[in-house]
Amino acid sequence: MSLQQPAVFCNMVDDWPALYWNAKYLSALLDGKMIQFRLGLKAVDLVPQFETRCSYVKATLEEFLAWSCGQPSCLSGPFSCYEYSKYWAYADYKYIATMFEEKPEIFQDIRWSDFGFPGRSGKESTLWIGSEGANTPCHLDSYGCNLVLQVQGRKRWHLFPPGDTSFLYPTRIPYEESSIFSKVNIANPDLKRFPEFRNTTAYVVTLSPGQVLLVPRHWWHYVESIDPITVSINSWIELDADHEARVEEAITRMLVCAIKSAENPSDGDLWLNPTEVEATSHEINLQYLNKAVSAYFKCQKASESEQACPSCTGAEQRTSTSCKRKKREAGSEPEGCTLLTHEFGFPISKAEKLQKIPFGPHLIQVLPQSQETSSMGAVAVESDSRDLLHENEGGHFGKLHHTRKQSVMSNDSATPAHQMDSDGSPNASQTALSTNDLLDCLVNPQVISLVARLLLERTRV
């Protein structure tokens, strides 16, 4: 847990049954079950393809495979409306516990206990199935760190350290709890509008089947599928720092919902991500904020108790609940994701601990690349795990989903994409300052962090 930059674990999961979870195997396992796919255009413009700009269909994995293989449209069902050469499809953020609730025995095919997290299995994991070009917009996760197993095909990860946050122009529009998006399209950055992006340091790695990537806390990432079919499995690992992060997210939710809900809904600003059920009321958001603050102090007391009782082990004190994108469904409370007392801290200095990390053929450090020299390539960790190779392919730089109204999920818009801002609003050259401009400043991560600390100090007193 002391790793402060991305790394790839090799030869750690050779005996995991989950390595056989390719798309064809999963199709048979799901046996015709309908799942939701997100579809986006393969054409790349200057605007990130946020989830609010995508289309959505419900289909079987068998229909997805038929579509991706170019079989007759009668076999590809809902996908027949989308030309494969123009679109990619992504079954993303699929919680395994929900998808396979009738087959809990397969949870044990995934053994995160091998990485030092006893009891963590497929039940606390998420499945991703995509076609070539499927991608996740550049964002950082507010909670935890991330372990990702590549099962089928390859994915290219473009990662940026937390220190690059201001260069990535963070925004909370579209709003989604736990995700802070970048206004920059990493695949085709608009350097005229976002000149500071030149100052970022990209860590690019191509993840191959059998390899596991560690994404440390608050590292930005843009992820793209580069093979015809990709399958990956991940688990978000809870951290003690999540307690304060949940207070920050509660503050952000309150401000965004209050300001955006006051706007005229006929403006067509799709500000709420499809992963969010609805814009919650001020009363509910205030209640959530108070619960997050209470949970924070409860965990502080538990941490003090732990220091007084050093014999307690982290394994005994960690929760098995996966917190990323856990929505506030009926009856759920912030405490369900914040009852953590184990500190993944540094008993010795960071520098001293980092020097002891055994990088080598089985643990490969992901190295930074300067955009001036390698923006068109990537660092690839080959499947034989023996070396890091530089690719020069001429390519571009490098949730528990709830269904909202179909109109929200359509990528059709009355305003052409070239006239839109990265957050979906008309660009600055054609309009005065908007509420989105205000929100970009008001709920900037640095501002919210300061507000949260002031609020907690006030509550403590």
DSSP of 266-321: GG----B-TTS-----HHHHHHHHHHHHHHHHHHHHHHHHHHH-TTS-HHHH----
pLDDT at 403: 35
Q: Are strands 55-59 and 35-41 parallel, antiparallel or unpaired?
A: antiparallel
The reply to whether 172 falls in a domain is: yes
Distance CA 90, CA 67 (A): 13
Taking the alpha carbons of 413, 415, 419, 422 in that order, is the dihedral positive or negative?
Answer: negative
| pLDDT for the residue 73 | 84
Domain match, 367 and 311 both? no
pLDDT at site 435: 92
pLDDT below 50 — which residues of the chain?
Answer: 312-323, 326-349, 371-379, 381-419, 422, 428
Same domain membership, residue 369 and residue 278: no
Q: CA 134, 136, 139 angle in degrees (round to 5)?
A: 165
pLDDT at 19: 98
Q: Please indicate, yes or no, if residue 53 is contained in any of the structural domains.
A: yes
The answer to whether residues 235 and 125 touch, using CB atoms and an 8 Å cutoff, is yes
154 and 116 in a common domain: yes
| Whether residues 325 and 302 fall in one domain | yes
Residue 187 lies inside a defined structural domain of this protein: yes
If asked whether residues 183 and 266 sit together in one domain, one would say no
Domain identity same for 152 and 230: yes
| Domain assignment present for 427 | no
Shared domain check, 132 and 273? no
Q: Indicate whether 67 belongs to any domain.
A: yes
Supply the pLDDT for residue 195. Answer: 98
Distance, CA of 94 to CA of 110 (rounded, Å)? 15
Q: What is the pLDDT of residue 155?
A: 98
Same domain, yes or no, for 96 and 182? yes
Question: Does any domain span residue 419?
Answer: no
**Residue 420 maps to a domain:** no
Asked whether 232 and 128 are in contact (CB, 8 A), the reply is yes
pTM for the full model? 0.82
Whichever domain contains 225, its CATH number is 2.60.120.650
The 3-state DSSP class for residue 175 equals: strand
Residues 269 and 156 in one domain: no
d(CA 56, CA 53): 10
Instruction: Give percent of the chain above pLDDT 90.
Output: 67
What total of structural domains would you count in the chain? 2
**Residue 260 has what pLDDT?**
94
Tens digit of each residue's pLDDT (9 = 90 or more) over 259-310 = 999 988 766 678 999 989 889 999 999 999 999 999 999 999 888 887 776 6
Q: What is the phi-psi region of residue 9: left when phi exceeds 0, alpha when psi lies from -120 to 50, beta otherwise?
A: beta
pLDDT value for 204: 97
Amino acid at 389: L
**Structural domain for 209, as ranges:** 7-236+359-409
441 and 393, same structural domain?
A: no
Same domain, 129 and 247: no
Q: Are residues 272 and 342 in the same domain?
A: yes
Name 345's Cβ contacts closer than 8 Å, sequence gap at least 6.
240
Tell whether 423 is covered by a domain. no
Distinct helix (H) and strand (E) counts, the chain: 12, 18
